Structures are given as structure tokens and as C-alpha cells.
Amino acid sequence: MKPITRQEHLKRINMVIDYISSHLDEKLDLDKLSLISAISPYHFHRIMSTYLGEPIGSYIIRCRIEASSTLLKYSSHQVDEIAYKIGYDSPASFTKAFKKYFGVSPTEFRNTNNSFTMKTLIADKILPDGFKLKHKITERITKRAIYIRLIGDYKSNDYSQAWEKIWRFIKEKRLFGFNQECLGIAYNDPNITEDDKCQYDCCVTINKDIKPEGEIGVKNIEGGKYAVFKFKGCPDKVGPVYNAIFNSWLPESDYELRDAQCFEKYVKFSKTNPDKNKTEVYIPIK
């Protein structure tokens, strides 16, 4: 595939993935997705399957079921409500799909999936040194950002190369501005999603209008209320931090998760001294 064609395909694939993630409650007609991508229906399935590592239909089902698992664990929505919220025509069809994926019903999953406690985390000593579940509540405005999407194991992705590409693009397009933020969005829980299917966006906020170009996508980072947690150390240690927040802090707080993505803000980053890196974890709440 010629470079310019590959870049155009990456741009169109990102458009489809972003559309799916923000329209799970709607009927995701494959012909419509093909139209959004501007890729011929004859080739759409093969191109998407090659990029995602699974058929587009399976990908949509997985996104819905994984979204439902988060709602079951961290919201007070009834099972019926969750079924309609993620795009199922009936609670029965949702329960059937969920049980096929997890091996248990949604109700059983909700009632038995809270055994991973803060005590376990501390006992296993897998939390970053010095991390405490202290937080602040903040309101953010919606911000525009450019991003590169990575698919694969969070521990082995080539983040450095992605960040270098983003900053090179910013320099070429003269997108430098005040108060730019480096943000990371991990879409999947690696305790649930297979490593090779996990998605992560390297993002930098911008103050100018720009169109997507190849693997460089453009998106909004949603504003609203967030709980913010700070920790020092390598960003690759953030997994246990999320576990502690979701399994200890959130159930005991007065908040529920809002329909928006969690993200990380990289306040200070150093390749030579990673133990002094500073990261803020933003949890959307209501």
C-alpha cells in the first residue's frame, strides 16, 4: 500500500472507531459505518478487520459488553437500563450476549465482581510507592486535541515513537500554544480485554482548528466534573492506581461515573529519571 493511501485509510479508520465509541446506544449499521469511512463496502470489512484484529461486528459487540461491565461495577443503573443504554433491543438479548462473553449473567457479575479490595492491593505491594487515595474535584472545559491511536498490550506499546510523531506534527503545522496538555486515554480494562485488543490514545491539546491527517486524528476531550488523583513514578505503573480508585475509593464515595473517558495528564515526564515523573489521573464523575 502506498504511504499516502495508508495514511488516508488510518484517518478513516479512526473516524469509524471514534463514531462507534460515542454511539454505542444506537443501531450501528455497517453500511452507515462504511459510508462514514468513505471506504467501499466491498473492502470495508477486510480493512477494519485487519486493523482491529477482529471482525467489525465482533468489535462492536465487545465494546458494548465491556462498557456494560463498567456500568454494572460502578453505577446504580438497573440491568434493563444498561441493556438499552449500550444499544441492545431487549434485556434478554443483552443477558445472552453478556453471558457468552463472561460466562455469567450481568446480575451475577455485579454481585460477585467486587472481591478485589484495597487491602489486597496493599498486601501485594503493587501500588506505586507513596501513592494515597487523596483527590480533588475539578471542573474542566472541553478541549480539542490531536492524537495517535495505539492498539496492543499497554506494557509493550511504542509510546515514545507515537509522542515523537505527534510533536513533529505540531512543529510542522505550527500548533504550539499556551497551556498545552499531554494526555493519555486507555479505553480498555486489561483485566477484561485481551492485551492485543487494548486501545490507547496519545493526545496533545491544541488551540487551533486542524483536520485529521493519516494516523493523526482530531477529537474533543470532554469537559465536566472530574476527580483527580496524583502519583509519582512511571506511567506504566498506573494500572494498580486505577484498580485502587475503582475498587476502593469509588464505591465508598458519593459519586458515580459519568459517560466520559478517564484519562491521564502527564505533568512531568523524564526518560532518564522515570521515578520522578508526575501523572494526574482524571475520573469523570457526577
Domains plus CATH for the chain? Answer: 3-112 (1.10.10.60), 135-284 (3.20.80.10)
What CA–CA distance (Å, rounded) separates 52 from 44?
12
pTM score over 0.85 = no
What CA–CA distance (Å, rounded) separates 15 from 215?
11
CB 11 within 8 A of CB 211: no
Across 241-278, b (16+ Cβ under 10 Å) vs e yields: bbbbbbbbbbeeeebebeebbbbbbbeeeeeeeeeebe
Query: Phi and psi (nearest 5°) for 17?
Result: -60, -45
Residue that is written with C-alpha cell 441493556 in the block = 83
Q: What is the pLDDT of residue 4?
A: 44
What CA–CA distance (Å, rounded) separates 272 from 5?
37
Q: What angle do CA 174, 177, 181 make, to 5 degrees?
A: 115
Dihedral sign for Cα atoms in the order 96, 102, 108, 111: negative
Q: pLDDT tens, position by position, for the chain (286 residues)?
A: 444 467 887 898 999 999 999 999 999 988 899 999 988 887 888 889 888 999 999 999 999 999 999 999 888 899 999 999 999 999 999 999 999 999 999 999 998 855 443 344 443 445 566 567 889 999 999 999 999 999 999 888 889 999 999 999 999 999 999 899 999 999 998 878 889 999 999 999 999 999 999 999 999 999 999 999 998 887 777 888 888 888 788 888 889 899 899 999 999 987 778 778 899 999 999 9
What is the distance between the terminal CA atoms of the chain, rounded to a whole angstrom?
46
Q: What is the pLDDT of residue 129?
A: 60
Q: What is the pLDDT of residue 66?
A: 94
